[in-house]
Structure 1
Amino acid sequence: MAYRRFVALGDSTTEGLMDLNPDGTFRGWADRLAERLAQDEPRLQYANLAVRGKLARQVVDEQLGPAIALSPDLASVLSGLNDMLRRNCSVPTVIDRLDTLYGSLRAAGADVIAFTLPDPVPINPIAKGAAARLRNLNLAIRDLVAKHGAFLVDLEAHPVSSDRRLWHHDRLHANALGHERIALAAAEALGLEGADASWTAPFADPLAPRSRVSHALWAGKYLTPWVVRRLRGVSSGDGISAKRPLLEPFSDDR
């Protein structure tokens, strides 16, 4: 079917961090998918409520109501990674919140795209603790997708999702090529014409190992500021508003 109203919910990945438009604003996989949807339905309207740093609880509290008010016929939910990065997070609680998100959007008449999260260890070796939590979350997401009749983008099932070449130097966000692959994966999940599994193809050449110097540079530039924000109780999303809070015709004119 051709969708008319697409609303994206989530955190920095859906906001589009590290995938820049020429004017310096963030693009991201959801904008890329909206562009593809607009090829089938030029009257497509698109809203993106995602804000960097948001936990699943905040997506429920701050984005779900406004999303439902927009009466989407398609909604995406990509959430949970920020929770899993916290050692004291409750995986069952995050699962319940995703259940609420999927179920409420489906009850409101929207088709829903859900996502598993890729193995973070090849991207960031210190994420082993989060990886165990993510595996449990991904198992639950697959069950919730079956329960609610949602579409699934199963990033975890394809090793290329954890290839460093699809990730920014901060080892947390997808780069432009990574966002492109996520958009292609969502198009395949929706069964859009011409979409296929080419996004799962691995790179032909092997990765070179990282050096100790690269780890040290990363820690100084990215890890230390993240830890300081956590200690201060500050989120990267504080003071940030959704980039497309209202449904608007999609145009790629930047």
Structure 2
Amino acid sequence: MKALRFAALGDSLTEGVGDPVGSGWRGWAALLADGLTPAEVPVEFRNFATSGAQTSDVLTRQSPRALEFAPDVASVVVGVNDTLRAAFDIEAVAAHLDAVYGALAGRGALLLTACLPDPGTLLGLPGALARPLARRQRGVNSVVHALSERHGAVHLHAAGAHWAADRALWSADRLHPGERGHRQFAARFHAVLAATGKALGPAPDVEPERPGPTRAAGLWWLATAGTGWVARRCADLLPGLLALAADEVRHDMRGTGARLDLRASAGVAAALASVSGLEVPLPACDHGTGVAGAAPGTSQPCEVCP
């Protein structure tokens, strides 16, 4: 009997970080794989995801290998690492994802996608630091939503789900799900697939095999591995993030914070227009004389708005 082929692409979330089994990681995609088919139909699962991967890595390194595998089902869950880089570019994110989605769906694979919570909230950062990251993640999620619809993907809305905010689901590092979280992610993906008749096997068990991380484990992670992680991210992201935070504070003091949201919305609209070739409406600024924060070449910027 022909096996169903399932390829998982993405970053550490899909790699399975936070759900250790033996000397490696398991993760939500591996848990989901067993529920895609009835017991008599085998599943051949390949996990191409790697820690730290950005959308560019999925396009250039993972998708060629996945296409060689010729999957029947392919998950692409990525984008958080893009938001954590100083050189964040929503148009590049859109172009990368559009190319990956199109290549996999074009080969006949059932495409699975998901939007995710923003890392600033998960890490508990102060408001002025968290809001720019949240705005970036909302932009990525908007792109994922639009391109998922364009390429006929089965999409899991995980960004604002109440279960995603449950600290018991997350590992000691506060950025990756623990075993319980990976099981929830797999079970909810299975439910979406089963509702459309695309998952024919049993739903993944949501009860973990191991206890969740303690507060002491979280402190130990921060004092050991977490210190290196923060240092690496700070070297790349922190200078730019501090500048974003200063801009956030300045707009808060002037009562013009909504303009930052308008600017981000304009960026998302321009990004989607660049990959779809469609005219995407851009939000008007407060003064009606242009588009707040419009990207160069997309519209006439307002001469009043900063």
> Could you tell me the TM-score, scaled by structure 2's length?
0.64
CA distance, structure 1, for counterparts of residue 20 and residue 200 of structure 2: 27
Letter in 2 for 1:7: A
Q: 1:49 to 1:194 in 2, by over 3 A?
A: closer
Q: How much does 1:219 deviate?
A: 4.8
Match for residue 166 of structure 2 among 163, 173, 178:
163
Asked if the contact 2:16/2:25 (under 8 Å) is kept, the reply is yes
Question: Aligned partners of 2:90, 2:124: CA distance in 1, in Å?
Answer: 21
| Distance (whole Å) between structure 2 residues aligned to residue 114 and residue 14 of structure 1 | 11
| Distance apart, 1:123 and its partner CA | 2.1
Give the structure 2 partner of residue 5 of structure 1. 5
CA distance in 1, matches of 2:44, 2:222: 41
CA distance in 2, matches of 1:40, 1:100: 34
How far apart are 1:151 and its partner, in Å? 0.4
Partner of 1:247: none
Map 1:103-182 onto structure 2 (within 5 A): 103-126=102-125, 127-182=130-185
> Does the 8 Å CA contact 1:76/1:114 hold for their aligned counterparts?
yes
Q: Name 1:236's counterpart in structure 2.
A: none
What secondary structure is seen at the aligned counterpart in 2 of 1:51?
A: coil
2:90 maps to a residue whose letter is: V
CA distance in 2, matches of 1:227, 1:178: 22
Q: Which amino acid aligns with 2:43?
A: L
Which residue does the alignment assign to 1:16? 16
- In the other structure, the counterpart of 2:189 is 186
Please report the TM-score for the alignment, with normalisation by the length of structure 1. 0.76
**1:224 and 2:219 aligned:** no
CA distance in 1 between counterparts of 2:37 and 2:4 reads: 9
Structure-2 separation of matches of 1:4 and 1:165: 33
Question: In the superposition, relative to structure 1, how do residues 160 and 111 fare at CA in structure 2: closer, same or farther (>3 Å)?
Answer: same
Length, aligned pairs only: 218
1:11 is aligned with what amino acid? D
Q: Residues 15-42 of structure 1, C-alpha deviation per residue, up to 9 Å, x if partnerless?
A: 1111022x23211001101121254553
Work out whether 1:65 is the aligned partner of 2:68: no
Question: Could you tell me the percent identity over the aligned residues?
Answer: 34
Which structure has the larger Rg? 2
Q: Distance in 2 between matches of 1:52 and 1:72?
A: 22
Contact 2:39 2:201 in 1 (8 A): no
Segments of 5+ residues of structure 1 without an aligned counterpart are 200-210, 234-254
**CA-to-aligned-CA distance 1:196-252 (integer Å, 9 cap, x gap):** 9x98xxxxxxxxxxx9x999766544543113334778xxxxxxxxxxxxxxxxxxx
2:101 alignment partner AA: Y
Matched, 1:28 2:31: no
Amino acid of the structure 1 residue aligned with 2:28: W
Q: 1:129 to 1:222 in 2, by over 3 A?
A: farther
Q: Is the contact between residue 120 and residue 162 of structure 1 (CA under 8 Å) also seen in structure 2?
A: no
d(CA) in 2 for partners of 1:135, 1:153: 15
- What SS class does the counterpart of residue 37 from structure 1 fall into? coil
Amino acid at match of 1:178: G
